[in-house]
Amino acid sequence: KGFLHSGDLGRLDEHGFYHIVGRIKELIITAGGENIAPVPVESAIKTQCPGLAHIVMIGDKKKYNVVLVTLKSKINSDGTPSQELEGDALSVNPSVHTVKDAMNDAVWKKYITDGIAAVNANAVSNASKVQKFR
């Protein structure tokens, strides 16, 4: 297994989970040399998609930008995330109750795709647009 070089600072907790605690720098420099501030893009996606818990934009030295997303889910008593969706995530598709099911759900995929498309429509440049999500 390898690492994803995202430009983020993180820590490993006692349960083996990585937590992003900041960025090495608050700027993404694309393969084409354009500078992009990821925080406004991440915030705009989160505003468009309140069912998402976290969004991390990656694109340093890449030809295009990708966002990693996590869904709002309940936290277990030991502090680890559960598979059970909560809050705004439950309203995306009321028949989907787990992260695993949401990953394979067409309604969830459209929800995220449409949110990213809305943000991309207001992008300051093509370089700051998000091309993919995971």
Low pLDDT (below 50) residues in the chain: none
Say what angle helices 106-121 and 38-48 make with each other, to 10 degrees.
130
Q: Are 69 and 58 in contact (CB under 8 A)?
A: no
DSSP state for residue 49 in the 8-state scheme: -
Predicted confidence at residue 1, as pLDDT, reads 54
Q: Which region holds residue 39: left if phi is over 0, alpha if psi is between -120 and 50, else beta?
A: alpha
Which residues share a beta bridge with 69? 55
Check residue 33 and give its pLDDT. Answer: 92
Report pLDDT for 22.
77
Contact 94/108 with Cβ under 8 angstroms? no
Distant-in-sequence, close-in-space partners of 16: CB < 8 Å, separation ≥ 6: none
Contact between 41 and 66 under an 8 Å Cβ cutoff? The reply is: no
| The model scores a pTM over 0.85 | no
78-105 per-position pLDDT tens digit: 988 999 999 999 999 999 999 999 999 9
